[in-house]
């Protein structure tokens, strides 16, 4: 065989290998997604931010969703939604195939199930310049008003522990931040990374160092999809153990996220 023919054969073999590697997984548990030719993820703020230059969605949640799509060898479609209830609606009645929610007992029957958590992120407060608040314990006092976003896991958790402070509910993170910036509240409660990002837009503001709990984001599926949930749960555990989730967090380049602990067996 001459050199030219050998080269052509080598190139052909590489093309065949590349084509084989690009084929979607044959796992029957996600056969419907493979048949559809894509996987559609629903996501809501603050699970993502937008790249100012490209308008692309970014953040650790987005990176994990893309990693799952790559594992399935399927194109990823990201569907922007405004709130957690809209994500639940999109999963059960609309186009979303997979989403992410922080586990909370009140959400247990809203979707088709939760995977083990893939990340951990703290809940805390953002306070304006001049605030005398230094710790989480300083917040729960009479007369203190705290902005919180409706139906967010951080709000559900805070609602169970706040006894004296008043929660002022907003529909979106932007609306909660507007309450703080206009001095209508004394603090805003949310996940630490989101508060750190918004703090750059409010000179002199501070994110409280300690926390009042943590969000443990999991992937969720529509009702009636136990096989899909099992497949994704396996991916989550493998992705935590192999470093895929840590690399997703690193690629996002946002502080405040940690890989969740392995699920208890």
Q: Is 37 exposed, middle or buried (0-12, 13-18, 19+ CB in 10 A)?
A: exposed
Distances from the Cα of 191 to the Cα of 37, 91, 257, angstroms = 34, 24, 10
Q: Where are the beta strands (DSSP E) in 59-193?
A: 76-80, 99-102, 119-127, 145-149, 166-170, 187-191
pTM over 0.75: yes
- 4 belongs to a structural domain: no
Looking at the fold, whether 112 and 220 belong to one and the same domain comes out as yes
Contact 80, 148 (CB under 8 A): no
Instruction: For 20-31, write each residue's pLDDT tens digit.
Output: 345 677 899 999
Average predicted confidence (pLDDT) for the chain? 90
| Domain total in the chain | 2
Instruction: For 44-94, write each residue's pLDDT tens digit.
Output: 999 998 888 898 999 999 999 999 999 999 999 999 999 999 999 999 998
Looking at the fold, whether 113 and 221 belong to one and the same domain comes out as yes
Question: Which of residues 214, 234, 251 is at a domain's end?
Answer: 214
Looking at the fold, whether 47 and 87 belong to one and the same domain comes out as yes
**Has residue 182 got a pLDDT over 70?**
yes
How far apart (Å, rounded) are the C-alpha atoms in residues 153 and 28? 33
Q: Where are the beta strands (DSSP E) in 22-63?
A: 39-43, 49-50, 57-58
Instruction: For 156-180, write each residue's pLDDT tens digit.
Output: 999 999 999 999 999 999 999 999 9
Looking at the fold, whether 169 and 193 belong to one and the same domain comes out as yes
How far apart (Å, rounded) are the C-alpha atoms in residues 41 and 61? 10
Contact 43, 92 (CB under 8 A): no
> DSSP string of 101-135?
EE--GGGTTTSS-BPPP-EEEEEEEEE-TT----S
Looking at the fold, whether 56 and 91 belong to one and the same domain comes out as yes
Looking at the fold, whether 149 and 34 belong to one and the same domain comes out as no
CATH number at residue 111: 3.40.190.10
- 232 belongs to a structural domain: yes
Looking at the fold, whether 146 and 255 belong to one and the same domain comes out as no
**Has residue 217 got a pLDDT over 90?**
yes
**Beta strand 99-102 pairing with 217-220:** antiparallel
- 19 belongs to a structural domain: no
Looking at the fold, whether 148 and 231 belong to one and the same domain comes out as no
- 97 belongs to a structural domain: yes
- 179 belongs to a structural domain: yes
Looking at the fold, whether 224 and 182 belong to one and the same domain comes out as no
Residue ranges making up the domain that contains 177: 121-214
């Amino acid at each position: 065989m001459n050199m030219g023919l050998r080269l052509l054969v080598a190139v052909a073999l590489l093309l065949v290998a590349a084509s084989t590697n690009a084929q979607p997984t044959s796992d029957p548990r996600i056969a419907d997604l493979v048949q559809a030719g894509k996987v559609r993820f629903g996501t809501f703020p603050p699970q993502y931010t937008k790249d100012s230059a490209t308008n692309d969605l970014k953040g650790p949640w987005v990176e994990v969703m893309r990693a799952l799509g790559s594992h399935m060898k399927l194109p990823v479609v990201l569907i922007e939604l405004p709130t957690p209830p809209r994500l639940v609606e999109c999963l059960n009645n609309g186009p979303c195939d997979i989403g992410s929610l922080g586990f909370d007992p009140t959400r247990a029957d809203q979707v088709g199930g939760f995977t083990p958590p893939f990340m951990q992120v703290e809940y805390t407060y953002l306070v304006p310049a001049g605030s005398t608040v230094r710790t989480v314990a300083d917040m729960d006092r009479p007369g203190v008003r705290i902005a919180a976003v409706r139906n967010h896991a951080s709000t559900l958790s805070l609602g169970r522990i706040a006894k004296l402070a008043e929660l002022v509910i907003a529909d979106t993170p932007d609306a909660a931040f507007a309450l703080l910036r206009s001095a209508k509240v004394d603090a805003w409660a949310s996940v630490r990374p989101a508060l750190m990002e918004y703090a750059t837009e409010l000179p002199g503001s501070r994110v409280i160092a300690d926390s009042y709990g943590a969000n443990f984001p999991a992937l969720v599926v529509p009702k009636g999809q136990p096989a899909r949930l099992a497949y994704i749960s396996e991916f989550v555990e493998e992705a935590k153990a192999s470093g895929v989730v840590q690399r997703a967090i690193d690629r996002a380049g946002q502080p405040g996220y940690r890989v969740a602990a392995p699920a208890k067996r």
